[in-house]
Structure formats: C-alpha cells, structure tokens
Amino acid sequence: MCQARLKGASIGSTEIEFIPGKLSGGQYIADTMTAGSISLLIQVSLPCALLAPAPVSVSLRGGTNADMAPQVDYMGEVFRYMLNKFGGDFSLDVLRRGYYPKGGGQVKIEVTPVRCLQAVDVTERGDLRGVHGWSFVAGTLPIGMAHQMANGAKQGLRNICNKVNIEVYKEDRSMAPDNCSGIILVGEMTSGCVVGSDGLGKRGVEPIEVGRKAGEELRKVLESGACVDSHVQDQLIIYMALAAGKSTVKAGEITLHTQTAIYIAETIAKTKFTITPCGEHNLIQCTGIGFINNNLPPA
C-alpha cells in the first residue's frame, strides 16, 4: 500500500530496514498463509488506508477468530465505533470463517480516506445501556457449548447489568467448516462509548468457564470507570498521534502493548504522550501532529 522496500528480512537476521514510499489507493490482498489473525492485518492496514489518495479495498486471509488477538467481530463491533470518533470509518464483510490451525478465513474491508483525523475527548462514559453479544460454535461442535458459554458470561456479569442479550448460534458449514467455539461481548454506554471482551474455546477448558472469564473481563472494565477496554486501548495511540489537536482518553490499567505503541509513536512522529493516574483509571493525553492528506481537497 505504501510501495515500501524491505531489507534484511531473512532467517537469522537481527535487523531489518523498512523504507516506505508513496501511499496508493486501490485493491490489495494480504494472506497470512496460516491461521494468523486477520484482526492484526486490519490494525496495520487501516492507518495507511485512511490517509491514502483514493479509496482502498483490502482482501484479508487468515484466522478470523484467533487466540492472542481480538476476534474479527470485535473489530467491527467495538474498535470501529471508537475509530468513528476520530472521523475515520471502514466497512467489514466476513466472507468465510477461518480457525486454528487451518486458517482459510476471508474478510474484505473497504476504506474511504479522510483529509485529517480529528482529536477526541473520550472521558465521559455515561451509564451502561446494556450488554449484547454472540456465543457460537462451528464444525462438529454441539450447540450446547454455545449455550454454556452464554450462561457463563451472564454469571460473570451478574449484578452489574440486568440487560444482557447474547445470541447463541452454530455457524453454517459453508461459512465455517472447521471446529471452533467462542464468545464476543459488547457493552454500550449512553455517551456512545463501546467496550468489549471476548473468549475462545480451548481443549480442557469448560465452555462455561470461557464465557465466565469473558464476562468477568467486561465487568472489570465497567467497574473501573474506563471509557475504553484493554484491547482497543493500544489501537488508539497511532490515531491520537496523527490527529489534529489534543486527544484525551480515559483508560484502565495501561497495558504493555499501549506502552510500546506510545514509545513507537513518540519516536517516529515526535509527539509526546502523558499518562495521568486518576483513581482506578488513567488519562492518556497527546497533542497530535495534525497530519494532512494533501491528496484530498479541504472540506
């Protein structure tokens, strides 16, 4: 997408050099060739696509619901709404599910570039409007596992939310032929903030425990008073650095991923982030560089 050159990318190399070129719009394909996370491909491609000179369409292949990364549904149901606050957006279409170890998932995203990202103030959460989500199984796994995960999630959220609506379903074999189970939870606030959590079924772990852990993770975010969850927290750093003006985000405990993202943003963009403890949460602040996409005319 940025016509880059890469040096030193070989087995045993201890150093690589990445030299970006000029951004271009158009159609692209990225294939992990494994069950590698499609959500992570979305994370790295979106900033470039949003500041490209023309619309961008990207076909992504790999794992749609992978461990150690947000499930692709989270990207569309949580991350997208937080990106909207910066003035960016994308469409996401899941064409086929891909799970570990085979992969084979296919997702298409389409992005309309913006001239400049706007600073955000995400410090007022408002009241919890409700929690909704999806509990699924695929392949030969029984639907009862999805019901157990949903019940576990409700146990984890007990006494914090009376309105919990979790859809339980089995993926169509034409969409997802391989075995997998998982749950995605989304909490909506009256302020427009959205927080989430998710979990994947694992061998040796009871489905009810998978759901309970996802519910307790969301409960922790809701009780902390934070406006963003730990999964979206680090993803916002690059947009805060590029935006025009001062951004403030109320987060919970600062994750290692966020600390790393801040270090990279400060090194490359020469911005300065501050983290101010405030009770059970932290305020992340940054005055962005106000990057202008000169390929687009002023509004």
Angle at 234 between CA 111 and CA 135, to 5 degrees: 75
Any catalytic annotation for residue 231? no
Cβ-in-10-Å burial (0-12, 13-18, 19+) of 172 comes to exposed
SS3 assignment, position 60 = strand
Which listed residue (132, 147, 231, 257) is catalytic? 257
Burial 123-153 (b: 16+ CB within 10 A, else e): eebeebbebbbbbbbbeebeeebbbbbbbbb
Encoded tokens for 94: 């899941």
What's the CA gap between 182 and 70, in Å, rounded? Answer: 12
Task: Give which of 188, 239, 209, 229 is closest to 46, Cα–Cα.
Answer: 239
Distance from CA of residue 228 to its chain's centroid? 11
Query: Which amino acid type is present at position 111?
Result: V
What's the CA gap between 273 and 267, in Å, rounded? Answer: 11
Q: What is the DSSP letter of 254?
A: P
What's the CA gap between 119 and 292, in Å, rounded? Answer: 13
Instruction: Give DSSP secondary structure letters for 140-205.
Output: T--HHHHHHHHHHHHHHTTTT-S-EEEEEEE--TTT--S-EEEEEEEEEETTS-EEEEEEE--TTS
Own/partner contacts of 142-145, CB < 8 Å, gap of 24 or more, are 143/168, 143/169, 143/170, 145/181, 145/201, 145/207
The residues that are catalytic are 257
